[in-house]
């Protein structure tokens, strides 16, 4: 009998049904094309400064850059943006649709203070990038290396040659636009309106479909622009040479920022404007590696399942063919899983903790499945910044009801129908994993606060997260616990003896086999894990959620089979303490994931500088490993519980 409610299954299918419903929108995540007339103002925004050297974002205006005349205004749109460290603000750059402008003065900084100069040099040494947004598109920069065209989002603050630091103070923007095309229904309505005399002259409009930037270091004549204002023309023509640098930064030295913008009509359509960002380098290697991994793991999983089914079926068939007298004699002679019939359902040690971890695992696994499914269907694309994190939080909060139900029903099953204490179990479920998360994030947040990074969660956002936790997740978990207490418990097919059976000494420690079992589930995801780690820590865009969903499903299958096989092996050697071992046989994959994270830090993130950056990386990796351990361990335990229940209910051993 399943430990999850049938209503939870209906809920998941309902979400899938909603996700598969057709939509007439241009882009599923809620982003829609904005039509601009020629000369209309375009909103240019700036995001946090980022670097793969430190992994700590900082505010754009923390450096001595030009500020907008109307003042700095925040433009954060959702919770996910803030949690990811994005701080989107308005900028002083002014674009007009399809209006080319060149040699525009942005501002003049009279002199750099010693503090500003030191900070500017530090950010240049740490390879920080400036991120500029137009119509939610990050500025993209193209570079050529050995006949290969490389794509980068943003541009570096500057470069260092020897003891000198040079700043990129002139930007050449290129905006790709596409002529607005009316949808068929709107065009037909307009044609009918024009035929009846109610039409009007159609004004051409354009959509932004691309945003490129070329940074240059140019030495301006600071004396000639003393009396000029923002957006005035620079007296002479500025030659943008990306391959040369000229403006080195020095203390008490004036600094001038200029820019130019040109508009180019493009054949790129609105739904395809993110293609340039989603084209990962080495895409063929990615796809073929994932496909190869899926085929190998599916083959191994099939062999494991085949061996298991044949072995169990042979044991059951041999036993059922004997008469009662022969069965009684066989019970005395045979060893193995048949001899632990009186102990196999004996309550495990720390039963409350096991129930709590299974409940949290159900919640995390459900969140992962639904979130990745929605992302694969296009509902959580890069066009809607922060939506993926926001969606994960939302689904986690809602699925608290399944966590409470699964934990309390398992608790009631272990207690043979006694549901007393279900409230305490529900509270522990609601606080166990969120408490670990809160502890890790708070510790890391103090480090980020001390570094004055925008990656630090503001105190007000902390309050919001606590309110979401206690006002949504905790009540839903308690409701799920109440439903689990009212639900019928899973009845054990055999009785448990009063005196526990002694477990024979084993040749090898059983926990050694449990820890080694995590290698097979790790094999299903280590290739995909590399691309995920590269996206998280190398500033790349990850968007192959379809493959990720397949890998997740395959991981669940392999975790179930590995745990099931290990449980059967332990029962065969008369080790009836299978409860925790079934959980950790598949949950041990988290150990290998964390070790892989350490390996990635040492060999792939060699440029990661400073103990704070390394601590942040290890802290987030530990959080990820704990979540994966709970989810995969839950899969292993539930599959083993079903297998043991089925095995001992299929044959009478009285």
Model confidence over 535-563: pLDDT tens digits?
A: 888 777 777 788 788 889 888 988 998 89
pLDDT at 25: 36
Beta bridge partners of 175: 211, 263
- φ/ψ of 207, rounded to 5, equals -115, 145
Residues 6+ apart with CB under 8 A from 611: none
Rounded to 5°, the CA angle 518-521-525 comes to: 130
For tokens 């980022």, name the residue. Answer: 50
Provide the angle, in degrees to the nearest 10, between the axes of the packed helices 422-450 and 611-649: 160
Contact 560, 636 (CB under 8 A): yes
How is residue 81 written in tokens?
Answer: 């943006």
Q: Ramachandran region of residue 2, left (φ > 0), alpha (ψ -120 to 50) or beta?
A: beta
81, with CB counted inside 10 A (0-12, 13-18, 19+), is buried
From residue 63, how far is each of 66, 116, 126, 170 by CA, in Å? 9, 7, 14, 16
d(CA 410, CA 352): 9
Q: Which two tokens stand for residue 617?
A: 């990386």
Secondary structure, 3-state, 155-189:
EECEEEECCEEEECCEEEEEEEEEECCCCHHHHHH
58-92 per-position pLDDT tens digit: 999 999 999 999 999 988 667 888 888 888 999 99
Token digits of residue 129: 């990038």
pLDDT of residue 454: 85
- Three-state SS for 250-303 is CCCCCEEEEEEEEEEECCCCHHHCCHHHHCCCCHHHHHHHHHHHHHHHHHHHHH
Residue ranges of the chain with pLDDT lower than 50? 1-30, 184-191, 193-201, 332-334, 653-654
3-state secondary structure at position 306: helix
CB atoms within 10 A of CB 433: 22
Half-sphere exposure of residue 529, counting CA atoms within 13 Å on the CB side? 23
* Whole-number Å distance between alpha carbons of 231 and 95: 10
- Structural tokens at position 614: 């390394």
Please compute, for residue 622, the number of CA atoms within 13 A of its CA located in the half-sphere on the CB side.
Answer: 14
Instruction: For 554-583, give the DSSP string.
Output: HHHHHHHHHHHHHHHHHHHTT----HHHHH
Annotate 361-373 with DSSP letters as a single string: HHHHHHHHHHHHH
> Could you give the dihedral angle defined by the CA atoms of residues 613, 618, 619 and 622, in that order, rounded to the nearest 10 degrees?
170
Please give the pLDDT value at position 183: 57
pLDDT tens readout for residues 118-166: 999 999 999 999 999 998 899 999 887 766 777 888 999 999 998 899 9
Angle between helices 579-587 and 351-376 in degrees, nearest 10: 30
d(CA 60, CA 47): 6
Q: Is 149 left (phi over 0), alpha (psi -120 to 50) or beta?
A: beta
Strand boundaries in 303-372, DSSP class E: none
d(CA 343, CA 494): 9
Tokens found for residue 138: 């990050």
Place of tokens 């090898």: 508
The pLDDT score that the predictor gives to residue 313 is 66
DSSP per-residue letters across 186-243? HHHHHHHHHHTT---PPPPEEEEEEEEEEEE-----GGGGTT--TTPBPSS-----TT
Contact, 138 vs 276, CB < 8 A? no
**Structure tokens, 208:** 């932004």
Residues 6+ apart with CB under 8 A from 198: none
Residue 204's φ and ψ, nearest 5 degrees, are -65, 140
Q: Going by DSSP bridges, is the β-strand pair 170-179/255-265 parallel, antiparallel, or unpaired?
A: parallel
Instruction: State pTM to two decimals.
Output: 0.84
Contacts of 649 by beta carbon, 8 Å cutoff, 6+ apart: 493
Whole-number pLDDT of residue 459: 87
Collect all residues with Cβ–Cβ distance below 8 Å to 275 and sequence separation of at least 6.
268
Whole-number pLDDT of residue 18: 38
Contact at 8 Å (CB) between 522 and 593?
A: yes
**429, 481 contact by CB (below 8 A):** yes
pLDDT for position 532 = 86
* Contact between residue 178 and residue 266 where contact means Cβ atoms under 8 Å apart: yes
């Amino acid at each position: 009998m399943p430990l999850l409610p049938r209503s939870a299954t209906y809920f998941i299918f309902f979400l899938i049904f909603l996700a598969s419903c057709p939509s007439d929108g241009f882009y599923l995540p809620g982003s829609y094309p904005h039509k601009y007339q020629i000369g209309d103002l375009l909103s240019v925004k700036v995001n946090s400064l980022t670097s793969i050297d430190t992994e700590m974002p900082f505010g754009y205006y923390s450096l001595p850059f030009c500020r907008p005349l109307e003042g700095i205004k925040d433009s954060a749109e959702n919770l996910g943006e803030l949690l990811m460290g994005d701080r989107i603000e308005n900028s002083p750059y002014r674009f007009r649709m399809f209006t080319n402008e060149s040699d525009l003065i942005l501002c003049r900084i009279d002199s750099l203070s010693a503090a500003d100069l030191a900070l500017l040099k530090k950010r240049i040494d740490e390879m920080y990038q400036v991120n500029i947004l137009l119509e939610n598109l990050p500025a993209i920069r193209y570079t050529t290396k050995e006949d290969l065209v490389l794509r980068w989002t943003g541009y570096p603050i500057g470069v260092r040659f020897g003891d000198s630091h040079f700043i990129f103070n002139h930007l050449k923007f290129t905006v790709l636009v596409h002529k607005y095309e009316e949808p068929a229904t709107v065009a037909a309505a307009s044609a009918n309106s024009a035929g009846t005399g109610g039409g009007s002259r159609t004004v051409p409009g354009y959509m932004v479909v691309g945003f490129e930037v070329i940074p240059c270091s140019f030495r301006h004549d600071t004396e000639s622009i003393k009396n000029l204002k923002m957006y005035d023309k620079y007296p002479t023509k500025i030659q943008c040479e990306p391959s040369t640098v000229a403006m080195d930064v020095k203390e008490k030295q004036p600094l001038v920022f200029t820019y130019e913008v040109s508009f180019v009509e493009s054949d790129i359509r609105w739904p395809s404007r993110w293609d340039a960002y989603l084209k990962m380098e080495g895409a063929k290697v990615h796809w073929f590696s994932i496909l190869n991994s899926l085929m190998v793991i599916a083959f191994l999983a099939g062999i494991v399942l085949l061996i298991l089914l044949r072995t169990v079926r042979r044991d059951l068939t041999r036993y059922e063919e004997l008469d009662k007298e022969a069965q009684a004699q066989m019970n005395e002679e045979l060893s193995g899983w048949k001899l632990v019939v009186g102990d196999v359902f004996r309550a495990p040690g720390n039963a409350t903790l096991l129930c709590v971890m299974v409940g949290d695992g159900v919640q995390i696994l459900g969140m992962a499945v639904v979130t990745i499914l929605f992302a694969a269907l296009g509902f959580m694309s890069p066009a809607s910044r922060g939506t993926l994190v926001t969606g994960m939080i939302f689904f986690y909060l809602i699925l608290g009801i399944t966590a409470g139900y699964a934990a309390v029903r398992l608790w009631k099953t272990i207690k043979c129908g006694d549901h007393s204490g279900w409230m305490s179990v529900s509270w522990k479920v609601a606080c166990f994993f969120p408490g670990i998360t809160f502890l890790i994030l708070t510790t890391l947040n103090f480090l980020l606060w001390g570094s004055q990074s925008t990656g630090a969660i503001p105190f007000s956002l902390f309050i919001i997260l606590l309110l979401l936790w206690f006002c949504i997740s905790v009540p839903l978990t308690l409701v799920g616990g109440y439903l689990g207490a009212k639900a019928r418990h899973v009845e054990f097919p055999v009785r448990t003896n009063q005196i526990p059976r002694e477990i024979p000494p084993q040749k090898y420690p059983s926990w050694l086999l449990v820890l080694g079992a995590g290698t097979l589930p790790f094999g299903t995801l280590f290739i995909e894990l590399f691309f995920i780690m590269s996206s998280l820590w190398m500033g790349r865009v990850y968007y192959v959620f379809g493959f990720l969903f397949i890998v997740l499903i395959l991981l669940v299958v392999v975790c179930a089979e590995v745990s099931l096989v290990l449980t059967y092996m332990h029962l065969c050697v008369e080790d009836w303490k299978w409860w925790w071992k079934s959980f950790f046989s598949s949950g041990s994959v988290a150990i290998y994931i964390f070790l892989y994270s350490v390996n990635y830090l040492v060999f792939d993130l060699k440029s990661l500088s400073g103990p704070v950056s390394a601590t942040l990386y290890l802290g987030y990796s530990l959080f990820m490993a704990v979540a994966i351990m709970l989810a995969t361990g839950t899969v292993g335990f539930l599959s083993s519980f079903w297998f043991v229940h089925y095995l001992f209910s299929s044959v009478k051993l009285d």
